[in-house]
Amino acid sequence: MSHEHTARSHTGRHHHHKGGHRHDTGGSSIDFYACHSRIRHWNPGFRVGFSIILLLFCILANHPAVSCVIILTAAWITVGMGGLSFRRYFSVLTIPITFILLGSAAVAVDFSRQPIGDFHLYLFWGYLYLTYESLLNTLFLILKVFGAVSAMFIMTLSTPSHELFSVLRKARCPSLIVELMHMIYRYIFILMEVQRNMRISAESRLGFGDFKTSCYSFGQIASNLFIIALKKANAYYDAMEARCYDGTFAFLEEEHQANPKHLIAAGIYLTALMSFWLAIR
Amino acid sequence: MNEPILQVNDLHYYYNDNQAALNGISVSIYPGERIAVIGSNGAGKSTFFLNINGVLSPEHGEIFYHGTKITKKSLPELRKNIGIVFQDADNQIIASSVKAEISFGPMNLKLPREEVSRRVNMAMEYMNITEYGDRPPHYLSGGEKKRVAIADIIAMEPDVIIFDEPTAALDPLNAVMLEEVLEKLSAEQKTLLISTHDVDFAYRWAERVLVFCDGQIIADGTPLSVFQNDEVVKKASLTRPVMLDVYEELVRNGLLADAGVYPRDMREFRELIGK
């Protein structure tokens, strides 16, 4: 059965993450980790708030030592307290790391007509050059971005989407947007499932044998997916109507009271971080 | 007999202008009945369900709920009291966690928070899915999704529950679970309508069978009377229940005395030959 395939492919990833299943890493595995985090019972508002404050602090402080502290503590919260294995945490981080490294390379390297800088490379229309200072600045920038990303991952890797939506709703985000997020999130997984099944069935009929047939199969699957999306939207609407849908999306939301211990610990941590920054500034 | 809970008079519904999906359906449904709705694909079963739930509005015909005629104004009343468990749970589940999903119906009924919470917990216990409460639906197996879809409707506490082909795509273990749930709902005096292609299930479970064919009800009666009517069986392209065939074959070959007691399941059959 197709649904069981989803469940199995996710549990399968536990055992051989580096093995197969390369086609659907990223988004869906982050979602899976979030659902199994050990710090999920914390108040979602607190988790989201804490990681956003930490993120902002990392950017505003703009100091490599502060960034390092945040990188380490964020890893400790997600891995140590959240119970995510270090290898998986690292594999999730590789996604932003790639972008960070590519992006900062552009910041580090400059362009000139003269051979200046500490290192330079002649290209026939001019020179690409690097200085020690620009290298150091880039390193600090990488640390800062990396710190900010780690802070954000405290939230991402412990908050399943429905909790995030309810936090957004409580934060007075327009209900139209929150409702759309709800539906889009649910729909992504349904369409992924449908797409995977169609792809597998095309593959089993040699639909991806060579480049030309691959293009053809891909096009067929894409257009079919569109039609199925429309059909499913109709079926969905009927099912919602049958349950008295009247135009507003309303779900029961769990009230996790924020644990005072967590608030105090977060307060102490942020104060310590602040004083550390003030001391070394 | 007492007053029907739901009465349908001469219902017509067209999907396209030329072809009638429902062509003059009239039926009365009484409180606490266990009705199996059978008929081939495209015979109009699902369309009929969507019509009596008020999702589709008929071209022509009347629906009475507890004796009151359903108009545009009283449509919500119909939806409140008649719940449909859809065939494909993936077309029904909309929320991103099981608990939120089950709360969708009760929240739409505008119940107070405590009542919604009570009903959600009750429905999860009923379907034995309390431990999945916080999971997103896409990490559930097919059988688990079906349970969530049923809990969705139980939480709304309707009088009439419609199951659209519930046994399709269920493994044997989940099919047994489903029958237990149906038994429990029956004991609570809920009126149940189930569409199915499983004639053996219809034969042993139902007390009344409606046979759909080309948008019409061509037979309405006890399972025994319907399946013994060869003309109906042929016209609706049904097969006869195995238990009925076995019993009649045994009687014909003189292995069993014809006492007119038709066994509906294995337990009754064992009792019969044990005597």
pLDDT at residue B191, as a whole number: 94
- Whether residue A42 contacts residue A262, with contact meaning beta carbons closer than 8 Å, is answered with yes
CA distances from A213 to A23, A160, B239 (A): 19, 39, 43
Asked if B120 lies within 8 A of A252 by C-beta distance, the reply is yes
Question: In 3-state terms, what secondary structure has residue B28?
Answer: strand
Which residue, among B51, B82, B91, would best test binding to A if mutated, counting the most A CBs under 10 Å from its CB?
A: B91
Closest by Cβ to A246, choosing from B108, B117, B134: B108
Residues B136 and B132: their CA atoms lie apart, in Å, by 9
Q: What is the residue type of B163? A: F
ipTM: 0.81
Domain range list for chain A: 25-159+257-281, 173-250
Residues B106 and A214: their CA atoms lie apart, in Å, by 47
DSSP strand E in A60-213: where? 110-112, 119-123, 126-130
Q: Which residues contact A71 (CB under 8 A, 6 or more apart)?
A: A143, A146, A147, A150
**Residue B160 and residue B272 share a domain:** no
Mean pLDDT of chain B: 89
Mean pLDDT of chain A: 84
What H or E segment, with its residue span, contains residue B127?
A: none
Chains A–B, number of C-beta pairs less than 8 Å apart: 121
Please determine, for residue A108, whether its predicted confidence score (pLDDT) is greater than 90. Answer: no
- Whether residue A164 contacts residue A44, with contact meaning beta carbons closer than 8 Å, is answered with yes
Asked if B108 lies within 8 A of A160 by C-beta distance, the reply is no
Phi-psi region for residue A79, left (φ > 0), alpha (ψ -120 to 50) or beta? alpha
Q: What is the residue type of B57? A: S
Residues B86 and B90: their CA atoms lie apart, in Å, by 9
Q: What is the token pair recorded at A161?
A: 């989407």
Question: In 3-state terms, what secondary structure has residue A39?
Answer: coil
**Residue B83 and residue B173 share a domain:** yes
Residues A163 and B133: their CA atoms lie apart, in Å, by 13
Please determine, for residue A74, whether its predicted confidence score (pLDDT) is greater than 90. Answer: yes
**Residue B259 and residue B204 share a domain:** no
Q: What is the token pair recorded at A134?
A: 């620009």
Which domain covers residue B263, as residue numbers? Answer: 241-275
What are the tens digits of pLDDT across the range A258-280? Answer: 888 889 999 999 999 999 999 98
CA distances from A21 to A156, A158, A185 (A): 21, 23, 21
Residue range B123-145: mean pLDDT, rounded: 89
Q: Is residue B90 part of a domain?
A: yes
Residue range A72-99: mean pLDDT, rounded: 90
Please determine, for residue A2, whether its predicted confidence score (pLDDT) is greater than 60. Answer: no
What are the tens digits of pLDDT across the range A177-217? Answer: 988 888 888 888 888 888 999 999 998 888 888 899 999 99
Higher pLDDT pick, A256 / B60:
B60
**Residue B69 and residue B39 share a domain:** yes
What are the tens digits of pLDDT across the range B200-251? Answer: 999 999 999 999 998 999 999 999 999 999 999 999 989 999 989 988 888 8
CB atoms within 10 A of CB A193: 16
A250 neighbourhood in chain B, CB within 8 Å = 103-104, 107-108
**Residue B227 and residue B173 share a domain:** yes
pLDDT at residue A8, as a whole number: 39
The minimum CA-CA distance between B51 and chain A, rounded to whole Å, is: 10
Which residue, among B81, B93, B96, would best test binding to A if mutated, counting the most A CBs under 10 Å from its CB?
A: B96
Torsion sign (Cα): B43, B162, A190, A226: positive
Confidence band of B1 (pLDDT split at 50, 70, 90): low
pLDDT at residue B49, as a whole number: 93
A158-167, A194-203, B251-260, range with the lowest pLDDT: B251-260
**Residue B265 and residue B160 share a domain:** no
Q: Is residue B144 part of a domain?
A: no
**Residue B210 and residue B191 share a domain:** yes
Residue with tokens 């902002």: A56
pLDDT at residue A14, as a whole number: 39
Nearest residue to B19 via CA among B59, B52, B49, B50: B59
Residue range A28-32: mean pLDDT, rounded: 80
Q: Quote the percentage of chain A above a pLDDT of 70.
A: 90
**Residue B181 and residue B171 share a domain:** yes
The minimum CA-CA distance between B125 and chain A, rounded to whole Å, is: 17
**Residue B249 and residue B162 share a domain:** no
**Residue B168 and residue B63 share a domain:** yes
What are the tens digits of pLDDT across the range B35-54? Answer: 999 998 888 899 999 999 88
What domain count does chain B have? 2
Q: List, in sequence order, every residue forming a beta bridge with B219; answer none if it has no partner.
A: B211
